Structure 1
Amino acid sequence: MSNGFTNVTISKPDGQVTGISYGGIENLLATQNAENNRGYWDIIWNNTGPRTIRKPLLGSSFEVIIDNANQTEISFKRTWSTSQSDEPPLNIDKRYIMLRDTPGFYTYSILERLKGWPVSYIQNLRIVYKLQQDMFHYMAVTDERQRFMPTELDRKNGKVLDYKEAVLLTNPTNPDLKGEVDDKYFYANNNEDDKVYGWVSANTSLGFWMIIPSNEFRTGGPLRQDLTTHVGPTVLSVFVSAHYAGEDLAIKFQHGEPWKKVIGPVFVYLNSNAAAKANPSILWNDAKKRMNQEVASWPYDFPVSKDYVKSNQRGRVSGQLFVNDRFVNKQGVPASNAYIGLAPPGDAGSWQRENKGYQFWTKTDSSGNFIIKNIIPDKYNLYATVPGFFGDYKYTSDVQVTPGSNIKLRTLVYKPPRNGATLWEIGVPDRTAIEFFIPNPPPEFKVHKYKNDTESKFRQYGLWKQYNVLYPKNDLVYNVGTSNYSKDWFFAHVTRNVGNNIYKATTWKIVFNLANVDNASNYTLQLALAAAHEAELQVRINDEKAREPHFTTGYIGGSNPIARHGIHGLFFLYSIGIHGNMLVKGTNTIFLTQTVCLTPFQGVMYDYLRLEGPH
């Protein structure tokens, strides 16, 4: 495929991208790799057994869909049959689009299951581009997180740390990086912030960018986070994965369950500017401008597939959201800066685990107003999460979107979970642990610095190790009224390393005073967890030795949000009733025990805790 700006070479009938030519460079992709290991869609799947299978999404037939002066679209299809036991039970239609006067190309896929097909799970679905190692050295993920990077050889010559992705750079090509840790999870982003990222070749003044103009086809909602790009140099676009969340985000199809979804299009954008030799950020800034153009053009009008829903076939929903917490304000206040969106029907908060349908999100303005545009026709629930307020909102009625519909909802009011007045609170209800104490990394590791980043202190290796340093013998004790959660509440409730790879459970204490206790009434502990990994949090009231906990979360969480510098992952909410006869006038203690202790990474990250008075 060629349009005068870009030449893209694709294998037939597989549909693998083997070459990308731009700016006088014959191939931007890693020519030292085999042709099937340069640019590809792939999937990790299983049939519920223990073995997961990584497979490229390969076509078995090729078709030119359209080819004229303005556009070329080509298709690589594969139809599944029961004889293909090692292939995921999916029909695949993988497409590439090139437009006139456009420096780059688009790609999307239509994936389909038919009735009667077997059980299968999709663990990961993504696009991968591997670039020339001797060409691309500057990476940009956000305005703040961009820098010259180590090389793949630097990683190979380094020391693998507690997990294979984290490598100590012991003898890097750039001596300034010696002592740093490189880890691809440093470069993860939330879906909402994940619209453009990539690499710059300063020597040739070229940029290679992944632009994702919409998140409607990605799983888990706007706060879901995943990988973007990493040393290789490698550029990804991840649509499905269990990262930071665990099995809840795997797509699980039951026997006979049909399904169809359009994934993409996403845009590979190429740019150049001679000034990038001195300032690679110039190409980043240009890529951001292009990203804004692509977002404004969504949904695109050029994909030919009838399964891709065009703008005139979509609908919109608007309204205004207020929050009414009767113990804070007598009247509702505008839900400012709230995430509000449509996702397939489910319970409040179910959108973060939703993985089969489409989701459409926006943010409210300062008055709580919102407009959700370009919604694919279907039945949805309307959900919201409001920073500063506990809990998850769900609109009481289903929302049926039809082609061309413009649904104007009445004024909506969210009444957050609340049983009594606040006696004390720890943290801020914002679905992250960012407000708690985040230590410096262990002194044997250099701080991983960017050109201009003050907001990613948690993106350092080994922070969980610092709990042992700060609390060498006794676990954390938080005294309500005198302790400060930004200094005295460690960002992650982790296990204790007692040596020889042996770990023990840890118990944190919240000590508080009550001037009076109503023994006949009920109190409430509102507990929000920003993340969990293979953990069980038990709550005891005024009796640390009680054989049975007053409350337990059970076994929750997965996929290493603590080790992977997540600061948040899958979100958990609990309202825990406490009968007044369990409390005493004067000093009380709540004991929080994370009981699962096989590894250093098991634990929870708290979002917010609040004790409410009698009701």
Structure 2
Amino acid sequence: MCFEDEFKMSHLGVQLHIQDRHVVMDNGIVRVTLSKPEGIVTGIRYDGIDNLLEVLNDESNRGYWDLVWNAPGSSTGIFDVIKGTSFRVVVQSDEQVELSFTRTYDPSLEGKLVPLNIDKRFIMLRGSSGFYSYAVYEHLKDWPGFSLGETRITFKLRKDKFHYMAMADNRQRYLPLPDDRTAPRGQPLAYLEAVLLVDPIEPELKGEVDDKYQYSCDNKDSKVHGWICSDPPVGFWLITPSNEFRSGGPLKQNLTSHVGPTTLAVFLSAHYTGDDLVPKFQAGEEWKKVFGPVFLHVNSLSDPIDPLFLWEEAKLQMMVEVESWPYSFVASEDFPTSDQRGNVRGRLLVFDRYVSNDYISAKSAYVGLAPPGDVGSWQRECKDYQFWTRADEDGYFSIDDARAGDYNLYAWVPGCIGDYKYGFPISVTPGSNTDVGDLVYKPPRDGPTVWEIGIPDRSAVEFYVPDPDPKYINKLYVNHPDRFRQYGLWERYAELYPDGDLVYTVGASDYSKDWFFAQVTRKKDDKTYQGTTWQIKFALANVDKSGVYKLRIAVASATLSELQVRVNNPKSTPVFSSGLIGRDNSIARHGIHGLYWLYSVDIKGSWLSEGDNIVFLTQPRSSGPFQGIMYDYIRLEAPSSSSSTSTSTAASSSGHLRS
């Protein structure tokens, strides 16, 4: 059905058909069948295709909500496809149908069922080419504790029809079939998700690596993704119009679409962060959260036009959904409409006297409201809602349609290290418009820059990313800005540095060519690895022997690692050790960042020499290939000229510019 035909059908109302074991929503454009009372999407009929979902799968394995949870003290996650036990019609009219499939927790099932009441909702509107889904999770005060490792909505499409995946203008391609991933067509690699295609059904894919993590995406960039069927030309798209219900803020990475063909809306997960983003609920802790709605959009073409036009239309529909947020048609009282929310605006400026004596606009800063916590706590927050925006060229920002509640205002500024936190809590009430005025962020700084490596952007993307081993290629990422998404790059380090570790000379080396993107372990043989020590060499014409220099190390990712710092003596006791940090696994999962860490290390002037000096960065933990650190930015600061002009040495600071 082409876009024009859909417009002609828009006069038809939404029909609801309730059967013994199924319920059907039909608006004349798309027909959606759900199991009753489970609330599993078993069929999507559209444009002459009886079912877009995989008909070879069991009905419970087509379109479903799921979660992974742990009972207290248990390290084994329990996977649960959420099946309702009660069904009801919430709204039924020509304009809209909203259905509810609920599962109520029974305390007699303690340890066997996640202690949550779950209400899954599905909405169809008149004239809409698709349908919406959201869910309300609730934990009551009399219930046992648990942890929630992941929750999402999953759609498995027909593998005989959907072969082309798109998630960005420059991240789209034909993907292999699921059969290509199993022996003998596929060869498992270093972990379950990565498979070498040795005899794929489509010969041109031979020799490529398929790995679902190669298609992960930051929350801030993941608004629409899905699949295209070429015959007939039909698209299936998952549109996420807001990130307010996702955990971890704008930089949290999640899966999108991958071989299956599978499309996901991941609301909460530990990917690229580890246990820090697994919410842990105590016995008796009350909690309720709405995940979604997301929009499942279908489109088609009747004329012989390039099927990629379906992707272009999906992006337009995504913009419509974003502009419509928060939706006015959601029936649950737990989802507030725009008039029940509030707005916060202001301007963020930066003051760093070693850069400028004037205030600098926080151009393109990320500014957000998140639950009260410490500086930077938003990136580990995983229970409640967050609301983020980006400041304009002059630092002005507006956070619109935040849910009523108490928040801190947080920010981080590209080009600056550290995190900002506004010094006063902000209470958002229905209809409120809060103007915080001009705010000032004073980034961590003790003295003028002696030297720096990298760009403070919470990513290692500016550093040297090697070409992949020719045996392990994903052709999509050859000559691509995301070249770091290739498999096996961690093994290239030992090939590039066979006889010794990386040495970087300030003033002669180029971090885009000479600083490997990750400080990984070195493989000694098939079973053992060793830690690595990198050197930063630099010369000082004059040294303030009585002063204290400051080494700022911003880490973009860490996986079961330790950062040790030594000065001019590689065998001395470290002047700094981070201890064991990180579980984000970004090296293995092709993510150029994970959680952000910032360390400030005191370097006594008496440890330095006039002339040549070396800072040694050691990562000693070495039980496997994926341990390591990705650096974001490193800076050495000279001592301040006087105590009266020194700035804060904390990892973050905040200020409010009073008129």
> Do these two structures clear the TM 0.5 threshold for a shared fold by scoring above it?
yes
Post-superposition shift, 1:278?
Answer: 5.7
Unaligned runs of 5+ in 1: none
Q: For residues 461 and 201 of structure 1, what CA distance do their matches in structure 2 show?
A: 27
Structure 2 Cα separation of the partners of residues 455 and 500 of structure 1: 32
Following TM superposition, by how much is the alpha carbon of 1:453 offset from its aligned partner in structure 2, in angstroms? 6.9
Asked if residue 411 in structure 1 is aligned to residue 416 in structure 2, the reply is no
- Going from structure 1 to structure 2, the CA distance change for 1:579 and 1:402 (only over 3 Å counts) comes to same
Residue 283 of structure 2 corresponds to: 255
Partner of 1:243: 271
Q: Of 616, 632, 638, which aligns to 1:607?
A: 632
1:306 is matched with 333
Q: Does 1:475 align with 2:526?
A: no
**1: distance between equivalents of 2:237 and 2:489?**
31
Name the SS for the 1:557 alignment partner.
strand
Task: State the AA in 1 paired with 2:273.
Answer: A
**Equivalent pair of 2:584/2:595 in contact (CA under 8 Å):** no
Counterparts in 2 of 1:156-555, with a 5 A limit? 156=182, 157-275=185-303, 279-449=306-476, 454-546=480-572, 548-555=573-580
What is the CA deviation profile of residues 105-139 of structure 1, one whole-angstrom value per residue up to 9, with x for unaligned ones?
Answer: 10000111111321210000100000000000000
Residue 289 of structure 2 aligns to a residue whose secondary structure is strand
- Please give the alpha-carbon distance, in whole angstroms, between the structure 2 residues aligned to 1:279 and 1:164: 35
2:156 and 2:261 in contact (8 A); partners too? yes
Q: Deviations over 1:403-429 (max 9, x none)?
A: 000011110111000011100000000
Matched, 1:153 2:175: no
Tell me how far 1:566 sits from its aligned partner: 0.2
CA distance in 1, matches of 2:472, 2:69: 36
Contact 2:557 2:584 in 1 (8 A): no
Amino acid at match of 2:142: G
The residue aligned with 2:652 is none
After superposition, the CA RMSD in angstroms is 1.1
After superposition, give the CA deviation of every residue in 1:269-310 in whole Å (9 maximum; x if it has no partner). Answer: 0000135x6623100000000000000000000010101011
CA distance in 1, matches of 2:474, 2:287: 46
Asked whether 1:62 is paired with 2:112, we answer no
Whole-angstrom distance in 1 between the partners of 2:79 and 2:578: 33
Cα deviation, 1:442-496, whole Å, max 9, x if unaligned, reads 122234226x973111111111110011001200001111011000000000000
Give per-residue Cα distances to partners, 1:524-543, cap 9 Å, x unaligned. Answer: 11010111111111111111
Q: What amino acid does structure 2 have at the position aligned with 1:439?
A: P
CA contact 2:473–2:486 (8 Å) conserved in 1: no
Q: Which residue of structure 1 lines up, in the alignment, with residue 646 of structure 2?
A: none
Question: Is the 1:250–1:355 Cα contact (8 Å) retained in structure 2?
Answer: yes
Once residues 167 and 459 of structure 1 are traced to their aligned partners in structure 2, the CA distance between those partners, rounded to angstroms, is 14
Match of 1:89 in 2: 115
Closer, same or farther: CA 57–25 of 1 in aligned 2, 3 Å: same
Aligned equivalent of 2:76 = 51
Name the CA distance, whole Å, in 1 between partners of 2:578 and 2:29. Answer: 56
Q: Aligned letter for 1:583?
A: L
Q: Is the 8 A contact 1:144 1:453 kept in 2?
A: no
Q: Aligned partner of 1:169: which letter?
A: L
Whether contact under 8 Å (1:9, 1:18) holds in the other structure is yes
Q: Which residue, out of 12, 25, 33, partners 2:36?
A: 12
Give structure 2 stretches of 5+ with no counterpart: 1-24, 641-659
Does the CA-based 8 Å contact 1:202-1:278 persist in structure 2? no
Equivalents in 2 of 1:408, 1:337: separation in Å? Answer: 19
Partner of 1:28: 52
Q: Distance in 2 between matches of 1:203 and 1:285?
A: 18
Q: How many residues are matched? A: 612
CA shift digits 1:333-392 (9 cap, x unpaired): 111111111000111111110001110001011011111100101111111111111111
Distance across 2 between alignment mates of 1:20 and 1:311: 31
Which amino acid letter does the alignment assign opposite residue 570 of structure 1? L
Paired position in structure 2 for 1:569: 594
Bigger shift: residues 37-46 or 509-518: 509-518
CA distance in 2, matches of 1:449, 1:279: 20
Q: TM-score, normalised by structure 1?
A: 0.98
Residue range with higher mean Cα deviation, 125-134 or 513-522: 513-522
